Structure 1
Amino acid sequence: MSWLKGQVFAICLTILFINSILAGDCPDNPNVLAPCECKNFNETHKMIYCPEYVELDVVGVFKNLSQALAGKNKQFYHLRFFNKLTEKLPANAFADIEFQDIWISDTRIERIHENAFSGTKNTLTKLIIDRIPIVDANGTGDNDLFKAIRQLPRLTDLEVTRTLLTEIPDGALQSHPSLIRITLSNNFDMKRIGKHAFSDIKTLFYVTLEETDISFISDEAFSQESAELEFIIRFMGDDEAAYLPAAFQSIKRPVNLHLTQLFPGKGGSNIPLEFHYIPESTYRPFLDQHPMHRIFSMLDSDDCDDKRNDWLRKRSPNQWYMIRVYIGCRDENRGETAVKEIQSMNPKADIKLLKLDLSSLQSVRHFAKELSQLESKVDILINNAGVRVTDCPDLLTKDGFEMQFGTNHMGHFLLTLHLVPLLRKSSAARIVSVSASAYKCGEIHLNNINLQNGDYHPWVAYTQSKLANVLFSRELANRLRHVHINTYALNPGVIDTDSERHVEKVDETKGKGFMKRHLMMTPFIGSQTTLYCALDEGLDDE
């Protein structure tokens, strides 16, 4: 398996490179850092932890640490700053100690100096500001969170949650060189997004503004010059915010815009619902700006009849309908939990759960029969289930197939064939199969499909199943080319799901823990490719 050795070699090189950057060690005398502590973050990396209810001279502590580590590596992986008695972060707060990841939470900090992170500006890639009473700078003095952020050229991930900020000021993050993900949530006092707040960030992929009460978005707040890179805006506000005529019109990059509305719920909680209507004055220019702009916002049955939505109904007639979703799930308890979670976000979502065990061909046949009794047609089939297992060559499906091949391919294969008659009854059906980039390493072992007689390896079995997904989708497209059913196979990327729950458990602070925090996409982001293949009108003829 020379190709496999090559893959492992590449991964080892990457890990060694990361370790060489972040291999700082704790001081020989732990008292120089008191009351903060130096701990193991995982087997390789160290972290600094500043505890809650203790008096702390931030500048003094990190100056002492810097002197104690003179001539040594002063780079640490993570800083967890939870000190509840600290009220401000002054300039050069952490001396020349460098971090890749800083999490500031549950403190009394109201001000952060624009040079607070200057000593670590060349290494910091992730910053979390959470549950602190930080307030707006209002253009006064040197205490300005967003000025501090603009001085972090390698920052890719920013989270600002549960603060007292009332606005994202003009030019807050304009032209930042490396930001990829921006999360602003649960900032309940936030009302305004200033001009050019997020403009001209060429690397930007994802912005979420949730659990806020934003009612004003300035012109060109999200302006982006023309580029192929798509990005996502997830916006939760109210109908007032939807009226802003120029808020999204200056975005020249392809955008998936998710509009969600907040309504007061029981017990004072907030229940996210969709906007009641999509104002033409705001969103027609936005949609006209770029052929790849998309709006996602489910209107309920009453809103569908609202005359203010006529323009959108005429513009996209093929996507203007009520959708019923069936979820096939082996574990009905987990399935019910998923359904309740979705309905908690959208109480009017029409979702039904049916039992489906893809490792059992009998279960697949029963599911297809049950669905055919409930529906006269199927518009979209998404083959999304999958499993990865540990080194267990004797783990077979109920029908005698190796577990990964049997579940990931054979189950979907039979399900699709049984549902083709229902898909044919749709005016424009789609079949979407979720594969993985691992298919490139795969090989179909026709003479030993179960990889018996010592040929079994979990990675080989997995890549075989993912290659089978791709080959099946391609041959299906060929055989269905004369009917109105389009088929797609896709690689969703590296997503933080529990698909590896059958893999031998690993410490979250080790390999997968590192990947989860810095390399993996959230399920929301990771699902975008699947939704694109399932819903995008531009793919009708492809």
Structure 2
Amino acid sequence: MTLINSIVGNCPTNVPIGPPCTYVDQSTYCDIRCAGNQPFDIKATFSDLNRKLGADKRVFRQLDLSQLDSLTELPANALGGLQFEYIQLYYTRSLTRIHVNAFNGSVATINRVDIHHVPVTEHVAGDWNLFGAISTLKGLKTLYFRRTGVNNLPSMGLHGLKNLYEVWFDGNPIKSILPNAFNNLPSMLYLQFTDSSPIDNVADHAFTVGRKSTPYEFKIDFQTQPHTTFNNRSFESIGCPTTITLGTQSTKYLDRNVFEVFLSENAMNKVFDESIDCADSRNQWIKAKYPLIWRGLRCG
């Protein structure tokens, strides 16, 4: 992780931080960790700290919000003017909503967000908007959702983030991916779904990441998709060379209506299905028209 003018050396010793937060001295940089069951006004705590710190001492590496039972929301300006590079929400089981302006002050410095075992959802209510808040993070590179309450990936959910290159969904109850959910992401390299249940519907034009700013291909990995739940044009108009992988316990055949559109759009596109049945007659179109893909599927 690249540090951006983070506090180097010891954490502040003459400016205490209010409970339930503590400094975590990492020798070459300083983190803040907030954990526990006591009441916690995150905005007031960090705004107070911001006022007491010198202008050159307000940039930290990581903010770890862990097991904070009293934290139900991240309000506007939740970070109080402090700057972080890495935000981790971990087992904060009462957190259900995030304001679109929650990360004000750090939108240019945050490059990673991990949300683990937090019941926050994609539902929008006024200015409370999880994906709206994430989309303000113009420096974001890595995004990790693990066991959240997210059910649907909305249109333009991740849009215009020029530095974002990897997104992980692990164990979320995702049921649908809407059109243009991943849109205009020129650095995007890796998108993985390792979810406990298959995705029921992937809409047309769900992955319109656009032309790449790097020479590397874009990889989409579905760990388990036992049914063909892709619409005919789910993988149309991605805009760059792409490899799709379907993991173990996935569909036994590649629906021609879906994957011929994908393979014909870019000669560098590839698909792998670890569960494919090479003897299934519904796969013979691949052998006839795309022999290299057929061999890559270990069928030839």
Question: What TM-score do you get using the length of structure 2 for normalisation?
Answer: 0.90
Structure 2 equivalent of residue 136 of structure 1: 122
Runs of 5+ in structure 2 lacking a partner? none
Residues 276-326 of structure 1: per-residue CA shift (max 9 Å, x gap): 1100010011000000000011245xx2211111111223445448869xx
Q: Deviations over 1:222-264 (max 9, x none)?
A: 024344541111123434444420100212310011112xxxx
Aligned length: 293
Q: Which of 252, 267, 281 is residue 291 of structure 1 equivalent to?
A: 267
Amino acid at match of 1:148: A
Distance change in 2, residues 1:19/1:119 (3 Å)? closer
Deviation (angstroms), 1:31 = 4.0
The question of 1:278 aligning with 2:265 is answered: no
The residue that corresponds to 2:184 in the other structure is 200
Once residues 56 and 322 of structure 1 are traced to their aligned partners in structure 2, the CA distance between those partners, rounded to angstroms, is 53
Is 1:209 the counterpart of 2:193? The answer is yes
Q: How does 1:182-261 map to 2 (within 5 A)?
A: 182-187=167-172, 189-211=173-195, 212-227=197-212, 228-260=215-247
SS in 2 for 1:72: helix
- The aligned counterpart of 1:163 is 148
Using the alignment, how far apart are the partners of 1:47 and 1:135 within structure 2? 27
The code of the aligned residue for 1:222 comes to F
- 8 Å CA contact 2:3, 2:85 repeated in 1: no
Alpha-carbon distance in structure 2 between the residues aligned to 1:243 and 1:192:
10
> Aligned pair in 2 of structure 1 residues 251, 241: CA closer, same or farther (>3 Å)?
same
CA contact (8 A) 1:196 1:223 kept: yes
Normalized per residue, which structure has more helix?
A: 1
CA distance 1:287–1:19, shift in 2 (3 Å): closer
SS in 1 for 2:31: strand
Q: Which amino acid aligns with 2:99?
A: H
Q: Comparing both chains, which one has the higher relative contact order based on Cα–Cα distances under 8 Å and sequence gaps of 6 or more?
A: 2
Matches within 5 A, 1:54-453: 54-82=38-66, 83-107=68-92, 108-137=94-123, 139-187=124-172, 189-211=173-195, 212-227=197-212, 228-260=215-247, 272-299=248-275, 303-317=277-291, 319-320=294-295
The letter for the 1-side match of 2:280 is D
Q: 1:322 to 1:117 in 2, by over 3 A?
A: closer
2:189 maps to amino acid: F
Q: Deviation at 1:165?
A: 1.1
Contact 2:201–2:230 (Cα < 8 Å) also in 1: no
Please tell me the residue identity of whatever aligns with 2:101: N
More strand by share: 2
Amino acid at match of 1:238: Q
Larger radius of gyration: 1
Q: Which amino acid aligns with 2:121?
A: V
CA contact (8 A) 1:30 1:38 kept: no
Q: CA contact under 8 A between 1:134 and 1:164: conserved in structure 2?
A: yes
Q: Could you report, residue by residue, the CA deviation over 1:2-55 in whole angstroms, capped at 9, with x for unpaired residues?
A: xxxxxxxxxxxxx9xx66711266333464332200111x22100000013222
The one-letter code matched in structure 2 to 1:47 is D
Please give the secondary structure, in 2, of the residue aligned with 1:99.
coil
Instruction: Indicate how the Cα distance of structure 1 residues 123 and 321 shifts in structure 2: closer, same or farther if over 3 A, else same.
Output: closer
Letter in 1 for 2:274: M
Q: Is the 8 A contact 2:228 2:251 kept in 1?
A: no
Query: The residue matched to 1:295 in structure 2 has which SS?
Result: strand
For 2:21, the aligned partner's letter is C
Change over 3 Å in CA distance of 1:243–1:217 after alignment to 2:
closer
Secondary structure of 1:63's counterpart equals helix
2:236 counterpart letter in structure 1: Q
Native 8 Å contact 1:36 1:51 kept in 2: yes
Structure 1 position 162, deviation (Å): 0.3
| CA displacement at 1:184 relative to structure 2 | 1.2
Of 21, 26, 29 in structure 1, the residue corresponding to residue 11 of structure 2 is 26
Take 2:262 and 2:76, find their aligned partners in 1: how far apart are those partners? Answer: 41
Give deviations 1:181-237, integer Å, cap 9, x for gaps: 1111100x2101111110221111111112143111111110243445411111234
Listed as ranges, the gaps of 5+ residues in structure 1 are 1-14, 261-271, 325-426, 428-542
**Structure 1 residues 241, 87: closer, same or farther in 2, change over 3 A?**
farther
Pair 1:30–1:251, CA change in 2 (3 A) = same
Specify the code of the residue in structure 2 equivalent to 1:133. P
Task: Decide whether aligned partners of structure 1 residues 175 and 80 sit closer, same or farther in structure 2, where only a CA change above 3 A counts.
Answer: same
* Structure 1 letter corresponding to 2:114: I
Q: In the alignment, is the contact (CA less than 8 A) between 1:217 and 1:241 conserved in 2?
A: no
The 1-side partners of 2:297 and 2:140 are apart by 41
Quick one: distance in 1 between partners of 2:75 and 2:202?
31
Instruction: Render the CA deviation track for 1:107-155: whole Å, top value 9, x for unaligned.
Output: 1100011111112111100000110011232x42111110001101000
Contact 1:66/1:96, CA 8 A, preserved across alignment:
yes
SS in structure 1 at match of 2:259: helix
Answer whether contact 1:19 1:44 (CA < 8 A) is retained. no
